[in-house]
Amino acid sequence: MADNVLVFAEQREGKFRKVALEAVSEGKRLADKLGGELSAAVIGSGVEGIAGSLGAYGAAKVYVVDDPALESYTSDGYAKALCRIIKDTEPSILLMGCTSTGRDLGPKVAARMGTGLAADCTALDVKDGKLVATRPMYAGKVLAEVVCPDATPQIATVRPNVFSVAEPDESLSAEIVKVDAEMSPEELRTRVREVIRAAGATIDLTEAQIIVSGGRGMGGAEKFKILEELAEALGGAVGASRSAVDAGWRDHQFQVGQTGKTVSPVLYIACGISGAIQHLAGMKTSKVIVAVNKDPEAPIFKVADYGIVADLFEVVPILTEEAKKLLAE
Tens digits of residue pLDDT in 247-288: 999 999 999 998 899 999 999 999 999 999 999 999 999 999
Degrees (nearest 5) of the Cα angle 298, 239, 219? 60
pLDDT by 10-residue block (mean), the chain, 329 residues: 88 94 97 96 95 96 93 92 95 96 96 94 93 89 87 94 94 94 75 71 84 97 97 96 96 93 95 95 94 97 97 97 91
> Residue ranges per domain, the chain?
5-187, 205-328
Identity of residue 252: H
Please give the Cα distance from 299 to 302 (Å, whole number): 6
Per the CB < 8 A criterion, the answer to whether 39 and 71 are in contact is: no
DSSP 93: E
225: burial class by Cβ within 10 Å (0-12, 13-18, 19+)? exposed
Please give the Cα distance from 250 to 90 (Å, whole number): 44
Per the CB < 8 A criterion, the answer to whether 58 and 38 are in contact is: yes
Identity of residue 185: P
**pLDDT in the model for residue 187:** 73
Please give the Cα distance from 179 to 172 (Å, whole number): 22
Range 205-328 has CATH code 3.40.50.1220: yes
**Cα–Cα nearest to 36, from 1, 5, 61:** 5
**Residues, the chain, total?**
329
Identity of residue 295: D
Per the CB < 8 A criterion, the answer to whether 152 and 162 are in contact is: no
**pLDDT in the model for residue 254:** 95
**pLDDT in the model for residue 168:** 95
Please give the Cα distance from 62 to 88 (Å, whole number): 13
What is the Cα gyration radius of the chain? Answer: 21
Helix (H) or strand (E) holding 267: strand 267-271
Identity of residue 263: V
**pLDDT in the model for residue 138:** 83
DSSP 24: H
Please give the Cα distance from 304 to 299 (Å, whole number): 9
**pLDDT in the model for residue 308:** 97
The dihedrals phi and psi of 133, each to the nearest 5 degrees, come to -110, 130
Please give the Cα distance from 222 to 307 (Å, whole number): 25
Tens digits of residue pLDDT in 296-323: 999 999 999 999 999 999 999 999 999 9
Q: Indicate the pTM of the whole model.
A: 0.86
**Cα–Cα nearest to 307, from 296, 317, 322, 320:** 296
Question: Are the folds of 5-187 and 205-328 the same?
Answer: yes
Per the CB < 8 A criterion, the answer to whether 169 and 156 are in contact is: no
Which fold does the domain 5-187 belong to in CATH? Rossmann fold (3.40.50)
